[in-house]
Structure 1
Amino acid sequence: MVLLLLVDLDPELIALRPLGGFFVLRTSGAPAGSPPPLAETYDRTSLDVYENSMTFRVRKVAESLRAPELRIAASVAQQGLAARLWSVALGCAVRYGRLPDLDPELLCWDPDAGAPDDLWLTEVRPSAKDAADAVLQAHLEPLTALVHTRYRVAEGLLWGNAASALAGAARQLERWALAHGRTEDAVRTRALAAGLFAHPRLAGALDTSLRRRSCCLYYRVPGGGVCGDCCFTRPPRSSPRATSG
């Protein structure tokens, strides 16, 4: 069990700011154009008829990376959003001892922003949910279903992306904590991450050294290469379809 010191959530979530751009969560000053809540992004009912935030984002990423297939850009976009969601949740859990309500109806995402993805919380109120419920169940499950259905990206690959994003967020938070002499925060970070990696959705996605067992397909963009935690040590020459699971 991880014991966390409960601290009141301030309206601006100021404690997240020193952690770096992936951890910052805007709570005031709505982004230009007032992007819709993520609940609308995850809604698949009209996806084949109307463009939504995810289709816009995937196209933007594809153009930026010169990706030869939209499914590659979809994988990259999904992992980028997952990294932001995990970072916010871990940052709040460690710095405040609790999460704000990250309900998809309250959390907005600007698909036209650069990296890291721009998130904006319309109301700061405490939540009794843990990171597994607040991020994995409320966000990553519908996000994974959306990308899998729309772009035919394998679910195993997408959950590998989610696990890789969690490992990156935890690593960055722990590094910050140790650099600032906050040993207890580092211990909390490791314990929280370990608990999340044990979740059935993520269990087995990474090996014991946190190297993933799937590939995000980034090596297929021009000049992409392989990521530091990729299951490959060099870009494979075999069919990319063989790396999608």
Structure 2
Amino acid sequence: MDDTAALLDAVAGLGDYFALPAADDGPWLPITTLLTDAATLSEYASRTRRATASAFGLDEALVPVKAAASSVHLSIAARVLSPVVGAAVTLSKIPVLDAETLRWQQDSSHRPRLAVARPRVLPVSDAADAAAAITGSVINELIVPLNETLCSGAALSPQVLWGNVISAANGAVTVMSQTRPECEQPGRALIAALMATDQLAGAAAHIDGTFRRRNCCLFYLVPGAGYCGDCVLVD
């Protein structure tokens, strides 16, 4: 097993959202063909809408399209951010996930499959260094085009989308800290460093020591869904 495979294997041990399989032989497509395709993202939003309606026992018409589209965005953001956040915190390295290395493929579920093709491994020295590396790869090359497509194609606001991004990163720290409590302090430091970047400035804040979005993912619009723990609407 080479160093990159070993890193990905170690990070996968943190949980399902931290795992990225290798893009071996198969019908893997460049990730940009997903991130910039409004029609494909709309299809995944439709599938998510149906799945949400089924889970809550609702008529599909009661699930807002925007809430479903935001859910798709949050899922993709979590799955590209969790591996790099986990690697930075636990190994002081990140796999460089960008337009060149990330792949995807269709399946019958309500979310696309993701995989990675021979990413470089970049050492990071501290939280600020890790935030800069994540910004230069995942944020700029993956999240920015995804946000632009969903802003225009699904009429989601930038505030909602960037809130989803920082919420996904913070959620990764919360998940890994449940089994690796020593990860919480360096993980929260990384989140603070990400919140200080140009794209994520103002997307969230720490209020009395608690992480809180300054926006909402819109899932509360689904009847019976309630609020997320970090929602701006929670008192």
Q: Report runs of 4+ in structure 1 exceeding 4 Å deviation.
A: 113-117
Mapped contact 2:36–2:146 kept (Cα < 8 A):
no
The answer as to whether partners of 2:104 and 2:114 remain within 8 angstroms in 1 is: yes
Counterpart in 2 of 1:148? 151
Deviation at 1:126, TM superposition (A): 2.6
Task: Provide the C-alpha distance between the structure 2 equivalents of 1:211 and 1:76, rounded to a whole number of angstroms.
Answer: 18
Q: Secondary structure at the match of 1:34?
A: coil
The one-letter amino acid of 1:59's match is: S
1:123 aligns with 2:131: no
Distance 2:122 2:72 in 1: 27
Structure 1 segment 28-39 matched on structure 2, within 5 A: 34-39=27-32
Determine the C-alpha separation between the residues in 2 that align with 1:192 and 1:160: 16
Query: Given that residues 103 and 117 in structure 2 are in contact (C-alpha distance below 8 angstroms), is that contact kept between their aligned partners in structure 1?
Result: yes
Return the alpha-carbon distance in structure 2 between the equivalents of residues 116 and 12 of structure 1: 25
Letter in 2 for 1:18: G
Partner residue, 1:206: 204
**C-alpha separation between the residues in 2 aligned to 1:108 and 1:233?**
36
How many angstroms does 1:216 deviate by?
A: 1.0
1:37 and 1:105 in contact (8 A); partners too: yes
1:130 aligned partner, one-letter code: A
Mapped contact 1:22–1:116 kept (Cα < 8 A): no
Matched-pair contact (CA < 8 Å) for 2:80–2:97: no
Larger fraction in helix:
2
- Per-residue CA deviation, residues 10-52 of structure 1 (Å, 9 max, x unaligned), is 367210122010101111556xx724221111235xx4xxx33
The answer as to 2:163 corresponding to 1:165 is: no
Q: Structure 2: which 5+ residue stretches go unaligned?
A: 54-59, 124-131
- Distance in 2, matches of 1:40 and 1:219, equals 30
Per the normalisation by structure 1, the TM-score is 0.77
The TM-score normalised by the length of structure 2 is: 0.80
Structure 1 gap ranges (5+): 1-6, 235-245
Contact 2:170/2:188 (8 A) holds in 1: no
Q: 1:135 to 1:124 in 2, by over 3 A?
A: closer
- Which protein is richer in strand relative to its size? 2
Aligned length: 215
Q: Hey, what does 1:223 align to over in structure 2?
A: 224
Residue 89 in structure 1 maps to residue 84 in structure 2: yes
Say if 1:80 and 1:117, in contact at 8 Å, map to a contact too.
no
**RMSD, aligned CA:** 2.6
- Aligned match of 2:44: 57
- Taking a change above 3 Å as real, the CA distance of residues 95 and 28 of structure 1, as seen in their structure-2 partners, is farther
Identity %: 30
Q: Distance in 1 between matches of 2:21 and 2:98?
A: 15
How far apart, in 2, do the equivalents of 1:82 and 1:58 lie? 14
Per the alignment, do residues 111 and 65 of structure 1 end up closer, same or farther by CA in structure 2, a change over 3 Å counting? farther
